[in-house]
């Protein structure tokens, strides 16, 4: 059966060891994916970056690939397959020198995701300090209209994604494995939440490909290209997050921010090195928004409503309010962070934050380091 241009591209992407750079070389040499698959072994060997071993694999593509089975598997997992020739391919990724040829997606990306995309990246073995601030930045940046982009890995990535969800905002997760082999498995609920109206989970890898030594660096280049800014929340001396930041700055001219930490904490060594080498020291989401010249849309909930609402915009009745005594009791019981309070009281961030601000103004509570609160 003759393959369509899309099916031919997907087939090339299924051939083990090929990758986007070599596929680009093949497409430049032959002009189309269909002609690549029709080429004999001897001609394939003459293509730059293609040696005898890969030439044999490409020439025998019928033995090592099954595009129709791959598409059926994707459909059974609720996954849409987008190729670089499709109109809805992300514009932010077309500028890459080695764009992914095929993208598998659960959920939905929007053109605006690349316009105000912020990659929040960092260590998998993150400290409570790093996790707290990554989630805070994810929440407040998403609330200001940014899309949080990260890799769904343990640690900082996870915190950044959850922060965006806390705000009811958007987030894109780029995997280092196929979508039928979600990694890490404990983030399956997070992935489900993202796909359920808050963004997309994306991979360039075939459905069943497991994570490997090379898949995460490949994933990092997509994160770096999709975002306009990269925030390294916490990273040791050797970290994939530093690789993402370097790609973002060196290849795409994106702005890199880094959160400072204790000089005695090995988990912050990478961030301090980035700052020393020219990354922007960042301590609040508002600093990042200001430095990026992103004013942000109106917040989802005003802190203090106007005294006299207009007829066109009548003051909404408050919903899901909690008595101040319940908030104080929850803090006294040990639910002393915003996330813990939201969970204990059954509220969203936008509903609870104004009440916490009022309690601070009334000197009923005081803020503590690490995003915690204490009753006065």
Residue 308: band (very low, low, confident or very high) from pLDDT cuts 50, 70, 90:
very low
Lowest mean pLDDT segment, chosen from 73-87, 172-186, 244-258, 349-363:
349-363
**Ramachandran assignment for 363, one of left (phi > 0), alpha (psi -120 to 50 degrees), beta (any other):** left
Q: Write out pLDDT tens, residues 120-164.
A: 999 999 999 999 999 999 999 999 999 999 999 999 999 999 999
pLDDT of amino acid 314: 41
pLDDT of amino acid 74: 98
Q: What does the pLDDT average to over 218-232? A: 96
pTM of structure = 0.77
Q: Write out pLDDT tens, residues 265-304.
A: 999 999 999 999 999 999 999 999 999 999 754 444 333 3
- Helices in 15-116 by DSSP H: which ranges? 19-30, 33-38, 41-44, 52-59, 61-64, 67-76, 91-94, 112-115
Give the span between the Cα atoms of 327 and 342, in whole angstroms: 10
Helices H / strands E in the chain, number of each: 19, 11
Q: Write out pLDDT tens, residues 21-75.
A: 999 999 999 999 999 999 999 999 989 889 999 999 999 999 999 999 999 999 9
Q: What does the pLDDT average to over 103-125? A: 95
pLDDT of amino acid 320: 44
Residue 369: band (very low, low, confident or very high) from pLDDT cuts 50, 70, 90:
low
pLDDT of amino acid 304: 35
Give the list of residues 6+ apart from residue 319 with CB closer than 8 angstroms, or none: 351
Give the span between the Cα atoms of 141 and 145, in whole angstroms: 7
Which residue, among 217, 294, 290, 228, has the nearest Cα to 256 in the 3D structure? 228
Domains located in the chain, CATH noted: 1-65 (1.10.150.20), 106-291 (3.40.50.450), 301-376 (1.10.10.10)
Give the list of residues 6+ apart from residue 54 with CB closer than 8 angstroms, or none: 17, 18, 22, 44
């Amino acid at each position: 059966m003759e393959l369509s241009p899309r099916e031919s591209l997907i087939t090339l992407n299924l051939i083990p060891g090929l990758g986007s750079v070599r596929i680009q070389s093949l497409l430049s040499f032959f002009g189309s994916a269909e002609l690549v698959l029709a080429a004999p072994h001897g001609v394939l060997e003459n293509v730059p970056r293609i040696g005898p071993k890969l030439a044999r694999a490409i020439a025998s593509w019928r033995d090592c690939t099954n595009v129709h089975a791959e598409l059926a598997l994707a459909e059974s997992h609720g996954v849409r397959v987008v190729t670089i020739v499709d109109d809805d391919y992300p514009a932010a990724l077309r500028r890459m020198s080695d764009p992914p040829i095929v993208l598998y997606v659960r959920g939905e990306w929007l053109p605006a995701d690349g316009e105000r995309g912020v990659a929040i990246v960092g260590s998998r073995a993150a400290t409570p300090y790093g996790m707290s601030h990554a989630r805070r930045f994810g929440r407040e940046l998403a609330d200001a209209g940014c899309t949080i982009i990260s890799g769904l890995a343990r640690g900082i990535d996870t915190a950044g994604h959850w922060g965006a969800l806390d705000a009811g905002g958007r987030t894109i997760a780029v995997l280092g494995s196929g979508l039928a082999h979600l990694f890490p498995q404990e983030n399956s609920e997070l992935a489900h939440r993202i796909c359920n109206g808050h963004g997309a989970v994306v991979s360039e890898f075939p459905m069943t490909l497991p994570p490997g030594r090379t898949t995460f660096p490949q994933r990092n280049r997509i994160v770096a290209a999709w975002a306009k800014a990269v925030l390294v929340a916490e990273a040791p001396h050797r970290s994939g997050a530093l690789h993402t930041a370097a790609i973002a700055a060196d290849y795409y001219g994106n702005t890199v921010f880094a959160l400072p930490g204790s000089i005695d904490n090995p988990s912050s060594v990478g961030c301090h090195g980035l700052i020393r080498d020219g990354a922007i020291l960042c301590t609040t989401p508002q600093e990042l928004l200001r430095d990026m010249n992103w004013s942000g849309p109106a917040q989802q909930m005003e802190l203090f409503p106007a005294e006299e609402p207009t007829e066109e915009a009548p003051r909404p009745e408050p919903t899901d309010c909690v008595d101040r005594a319940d908030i104080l009791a929850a803090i006294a019981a040990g639910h002393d962070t915003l996330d813990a309070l939201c969970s204990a009281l059954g509220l969203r961030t936008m509903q609870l934050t104004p009440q916490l601000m009022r309690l601070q103004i009334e000197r009923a509570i005081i803020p503590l380091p690490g995003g915690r609160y204490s009753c006065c």
